Structure 1
Amino acid sequence: MNNTPESPDNDNDMDWLEAELADTLDEDYELEMSEPALSLEIRKIYERSHPQTMARADYFRALLTLQSELIKLQDWVQYHKEKVVVIFEGRDSAGKGGVIKRITQRLNPRIVRVVALPAPTDREMTQWYFQRYVPHLPAGGEIVLFDRSWYNRPGVERVMGFATEPQVEQFFNDVPEFERMLVRSGIRLIKYWFSITDEEQQMRFLMRIHDPLKQWKLSPMDLQSRVRWEAYTKAKEETFRRTNIPEAPWYIVPANDKKRARLNCISHLLDQIPYEDVPHEEVALPERVFNPDYERAVLPPELYVPQKY
């Protein structure tokens, strides 16, 4: 018997759906929580200097719409065995991690994975520079998001003195052909640079210093990046000039406003790939099998997590 909209079963279904949506929004709000222990004075300074941000409801409405499209993109990549690499670069605290979280939030981690490599080991430092990145490249049906990439060499490695000028020059000579090879192999390579102002980075660093939940994000290297702002700027400009190739151009994301930066980046990413709806098998929930002779065992209470909340 089909349920009418007024039937009790349908009402129960709607109540359940609303509860599920509320839980989802709670998770989103938790992800969006910012500066819970931030000093009030720092917050006041930040709000005076920060551009007017989007209303929360407008932001979530746009984000959920884009995330539904990302699911279609994921399905298309898996169905057609496409290979996608997206590189996220930018200064410390520019918002790379935030947009990566929103991209992957509702996707399958077996299809879409994030690569954030630590500093190279002594052995890796003797290898061909690109060698440690190659194992992380996608197979057919995969999307790989690089939270920093081989562009560490002309950026942090160069500015902090971890790479010599001959090594940097070798990188600039090699990387265009390396990326052309990736594209010729069938990889769709997309490169983003998240751009923030000097003042914005200063405010974000101050907020991290005063927020116990975010202090772990600050490293000695991050703090040195403040001292060497101009050196990073010069390194960035040369990187754009020498690695912005037709096969793999750079796209700059203005990122002073975190929410708009996330939405604009995701929207642009979707526009770069000609994904379409793909066939799906109809999903039906099978009937539960009940065995009248089965009795569920009583487990000892010490196996259970204490119900503190």
Structure 2
Amino acid sequence: VQKKGKKLVIIFEGRDAAGKGGTIQRFTEHLNSRGARIAALPKPTETEEGQWYFQRYVAHLPSAGEMVFFDRSWYNRAVVEPVMGFCTKEQYETFMKEVPSFERNLLSEGIILFKFWLNVTRKEQKRRFRQRRKDPLKQWKLSPVDLASLDKWDNYTKHIDKMFFATDTVDAPWTVVESDDKMRARLNAIRFVLSSLPYSDKDEKKIGTVDPRIVFRAAAVTGLTKKDKDDKK
């Protein structure tokens, strides 16, 4: 990326406690910080709320030779915001119509885009919440939004389905990563990116094979991942 002046964006989405932050840490821990940035945006300011929705995300896009890892992204408006009542119905519908064009524009500007959805089961999510509540090193991760999401599982699932149906495109597909097993999820997400990109001295044997049981394309027709289907049975 740095040698050839490429621009790389990887976004990490998923339910609360799906392991987004930890996965990003494993991606970046051995990268040169001059060329790799993490964008974890806080709640929008009053000024940002009055801007074009994508504007504050555009400000964090990479320049030539940079990689940016989004810990949550513009897809907040596809799932979290409508479920939690942080946006209006009109704002949500406008976003869903605009986002495919927005991402095509990113691609036309030479940005390489990966969209990861980290999929965690309901049982594992609850276990991680309990762990956060007890662990003094992880208590800061447990937010009011996290706790409120426990009773909104089905509503989250509905909006995830809609998001996949509308935004899992040929140009910018969603890649689902089953993240109940954190180590396997992280390794296979890294393998997927390395396998997808051309670079000097690439060694497929060292990268290893991506496990199709852990990493797979989102189902564009139904929007449901396999694990979500199993949970509903």
TM-based fold match above 0.5 = yes
Aligned twin of 1:229: 153
Equivalent AA in structure 1 for residue 46 of structure 2: D
Q: Equivalents in 2 of 1:276, 1:164: separation in Å?
A: 47
Equivalent AA in structure 2 for residue 234 of structure 1: K
Aligned twin of 2:99: 175
Secondary structure of the structure 2 residue equivalent to 1:136: coil
Alpha-carbon offset, residue 200 of structure 1: 0.5
Secondary structure of the structure 1 residue equivalent to 2:49: helix
Amino-acid identity (%) = 55
Alpha-carbon offset, residue 275 of structure 1: 1.5
- 2:126 is the counterpart of 1:202: yes
Q: Please, which of 12, 16, 30 is the counterpart of residue 92 of structure 1?
A: 16
Secondary structure of the structure 1 residue equivalent to 2:193: helix
Aligned twin of 2:210: none
Equivalent AA in structure 2 for residue 275 of structure 1: Y
- 2:190 is the counterpart of 1:190: no
In structure 1, list runs of 5 or more residues that go unmatched.
Answer: 1-76, 279-309
Q: Please, which of 75, 85, 95 is the counterpart of residue 161 of structure 1?
A: 85
CA RMSD of aligned residues (A): 1.0
Aligned twin of 1:266: 190
Aligned twin of 1:135: 59
Aligned twin of 2:36: 112
Matches within 5 A, 1:1-309: 77-277=1-201
Alpha-carbon offset, residue 277 of structure 1: 3.7
Name the TM-score, length of structure 2 as normaliser: 0.85
Q: Equivalents in 1 of 2:38, 2:96: separation in Å?
A: 25
In structure 2, list runs of 5 or more residues that go unmatched.
Answer: 203-233
Q: Equivalents in 2 of 1:239, 1:276: separation in Å?
A: 36
Name the TM-score, length of structure 1 as normaliser: 0.64
Give structure 1 regions of 4+ aligned residues with deviation exceeding 6 angstroms: none
Aligned twin of 1:46: none
Identify the structure with the greater strand proportion. 2
Q: Equivalents in 1 of 2:196, 2:99: separation in Å?
A: 21
Q: Equivalents in 2 of 1:96, 1:275: separation in Å?
A: 25
Computing the radius of gyration from Cα coordinates, the structure with the larger value is: 1
